[in-house]
Structure 1
């Protein structure tokens, strides 16, 4: 990788880290926000749900937009969009306004997520696994170190600091990106002269609205039932409405010419489908730990935000160490061996969580976090490398967007799982049950990796 390519990777990395950084810092702030706004865990969880629902919708849209308008233009616009809520969120007069700013933040940071992967795929053509491992230092490192950064910031300056910390990253990425990311022309030459109706059809606005409305309705119904402690007819109706809207979304995507999520393409390339399913399950497991463990430590074991952040640093350091090693390994052996090892480590870490109790020493928590951290470093490179092998080159922008949507659906499901298992308050018994569920998810990932290895999937289309 030459000097210009390294600067390009750094500029992209500083932008793409904003989404995982902001999604992870908030995990340490949940108990503080509960106290500040007098909310239970289920209610305050919407600060997580809102971010990931917006990200899940924005990622494939921005992947398609980058193919139309140019990747550099979308990347820079995302940095500007992310800058605005970083300034205004600390001034939120209510929890509702804080949710609004989190949604804007999610959209801005999502404009850089899938687009950043595409920029790497287009402009760095040799040793792409090594390039992905370099990018994963920013992605997985930001996600894993986020709780530590959040813990320190909250300890000294309270929760508004987790928004203000984005500003130097945004500024540095913007200045570098303008210099080192090559200009590219939109792939659709007539993009600037299209009518509103054409844009409406091309971006599949009905599909976006159905997907968003269905997902929100389903979450509202499930969380409301859990929060109230009983299942009423109104909650059942809301859940059924959400399922009906999502069913209508699937039917529409199979018919439309320019789908929001190209389901027919995924049917044509089944390896892509399995990669996205696996990525979704990885994120269900990883973020259940990510959001669950800090709240468990603070509410059950009464560990401060600062010390919780330090403990979670184990996760980040192990991810950072594993990512470059994974890149070199995958360049030589392909993604399958690394993903199999990752599944085994996640199983070990999940079983370890089940054995924890209030008297467990700190080293036990660190060992479980180390297993998850190494697996995260392997996954962040391995699954992206598998996606690049399985995706046709002409749709890498859309494939990257859908890939990241799978991640966000996984994180939404992880928050939903944590909320259902824990209810309004964390407990030692609830955390143990969560560990059992995560163990079964980790074992399913091991069997999936073994199946891919036997069938020889993830070959270049």
Structure 2
């Protein structure tokens, strides 16, 4: 087991070159055959997230549902993903990336087909839940492959590949709302589910041809099924309460606490825990990264969904018009990521991103139903700065801080905290938009987001370990 200092500095020992190798005769450098399936798989979740942002209003009209009801289309996916990411990540650590990647991307195709022919809002929510589980495999699989290739080739930090993954997700953030608006204009909201069919097929073909095979479980890789079930029960109960808080639902908090106690007892008492709480509790920098992740994505997803709904209802733009207005936000994020991506150091990125995040949230308080389009575009561009900096910085931090032997599950937990932020954002949107996406509701949401963004800055300033990450690559 590596020490915390070794993990933070990226000096983990090289893995044994056995069944984890990518092929019988891999190339000397990073195996670039892996990049396309890694990127294609990783965009499945953001493409479904970003397209839905402009489809919530049309879907609500189609089923006669209020924003508080259509919010379950967002919450259902993120609840499934929050639970599924670390579970599938642990399975990736044990079985390797290939079977989980293929199974997950196949499920995406099934979920897309179900969404196309969904007769009710309830069935559509089920489709989104299946999409959440299906899209949970690609990211931990990609992070596992990165660590495996780094160990094989001796790369200290594959910052270029990490940047490519981040940029591809930012590109989808650009394409998603606009593509969603165009698809809705062309054939209705059903088409945003249909697009999963060709994407799933492409992932299956590329994954079958290019991903490495791995031998079965060893004694050191037994799966802690009981721990997984207790973790799922704990997180599900807690998140269900977060999505619909109230005195009548306090029993969910009690269930979450009981499951948490049982989970802690189980994980501390088993030789092969699902989540090694002893190691995790001693890795303060990694815990800080998880905290930053939930805070920043609470802000990011509140803006993505809350601002987009306000553009369509409060500012009276069409779905396609809202998608176009959001283009500068994602374009800014892409440029920022492209310019800074190859630099593995993270502290400056997080500090600049946190300040821009506070500014962008505060500017939302200036908007009204008659606000000029140029002002709306400017605010979006400011929000694009932290989106281009923070996600990549947290990803680089996790790569340096996590135990290499548990890279898949650690990466899955990073996504769990990301989607916890998304669920908190969905709950905030539902709370402030009970009577529709009004300007008053937007201002209440913005006030909350300013507080969250300031808390993110505080967590970043207190984490002194960040200054060490990336030094060895310079």
Q: TM exceeds 0.5?
A: yes
**Aligned-pair CA distance for 1:359:** 2.5
Give the secondary structure class of the aligned counterpart of 1:65. Answer: helix
Distance 2:288 2:145 in 1: 24
Indicate if the aligned counterparts of 1:53 and 1:408 stay in contact, CA closer than 8 A.
yes
Pairing of 1:378-397 with structure 2 (within 5 A): 378-397=389-408
Residue in structure 1 matched with residue 256 of structure 2 by the alignment: 246
For residue 106 of structure 2, the aligned residue among 77, 80, 87 is 80
Q: 1:364 Cα deviation (Å)?
A: 1.3
1:432 aligns with 2:471: no
- Does the CA contact (< 8 Å) of 2:242 and 2:427 recur in 1? no
Look up the SS of the partner of 1:93 in the other structure: coil
8 Å contact from structure 1 (residues 75, 112) kept in 2: yes
| 8 Å contact kept, 1:130–1:324 | no
Which residue of the other structure, out of 165, 168, 175, is the alignment partner of 2:195?
Answer: 165
- How many Å apart are 1:168 and its aligned residue? 2.4
Shift of residue 61, structure 1, vs aligned partner = 0.5
Quote the offset at 1:362 in angstroms. Answer: 1.2
Q: CA deviation at 1:259?
A: 4.8
On the 8 A contact 2:80/2:129 being kept in 1, the answer is yes
- Render the CA deviation track for 1:120-172: whole Å, top value 9, x for unaligned: 22224534122111011222332343211111111221100001112222222
Q: Which residue of 2 aligns with 1:366?
A: 377
| 2:144 is equivalent to residue 118 of structure 1 | yes
Q: 1:213 aligns with which of 221, 224, 237?
A: 237
Deviation at 1:287, TM superposition (A): 0.3
Is this contact kept in 2: 1:338–1:379, CA < 8 A? yes
The 1:436/1:21 distance shift into structure 2, 3 A limit, reads same
Residues 1:320 and 2:346 aligned together: no
Unaligned runs of 5+ in 1: 223-234
Could you tell me which residue of structure 2 aligns to residue 306 of structure 1? 320
How far does residue 382 in structure 1 lie from its aligned partner after superposition?
0.7
CA contact (8 A) 2:336 2:385 kept: yes
Matched, 1:45 2:71: yes
Structure number with the higher helix fraction is 1
Instruction: Tell me the distance in 1 between the aligned counterparts of 2:145 and 2:234.
Output: 30
Q: 2:209 aligns with which of 172, 175, 179?
A: 179
| Bigger mean CA deviation after superposition, 118-127 or 344-353 | 118-127
SS of residue paired to 1:424: coil
Q: In structure 2, how many angstroms separate the alpha carbons of the residues matched to 1:97 and 1:108? A: 16
Pick closer, same or farther for the CA change 1:339–1:190 going to 2, 3 Å: closer
Match of 1:225 in 2: none
TM-score by length of 2: 0.86
For residues 349-408 of structure 1, give each alpha carbon's deviation from its aligned partner in whole angstroms, at most 9, with x where no partner exists: 112211122232211111111122121111121111011111121211111111110001
In structure 2, C-alpha distance between the alignment counterparts of 1:171 and 1:366, rounded to whole Å: 36
| Counterparts of 2:210 and 2:331, CA distance in 1 | 29
Residue correspondences, number: 437
Q: Is the 8 A contact 1:154 1:162 kept in 2?
A: yes
Does the CA-based 8 Å contact 2:106-2:201 persist in structure 1?
no
Q: Which runs of 5+ in 2 are unaligned?
A: 1-26
Task: Note the C-alpha offset of 1:187.
Answer: 5.3
CA shift for structure 1 position 424: 3.3
Tell me the distance in 2 between the aligned counterparts of 1:20 and 1:186: 31
1:294 counterpart = 2:308:
yes
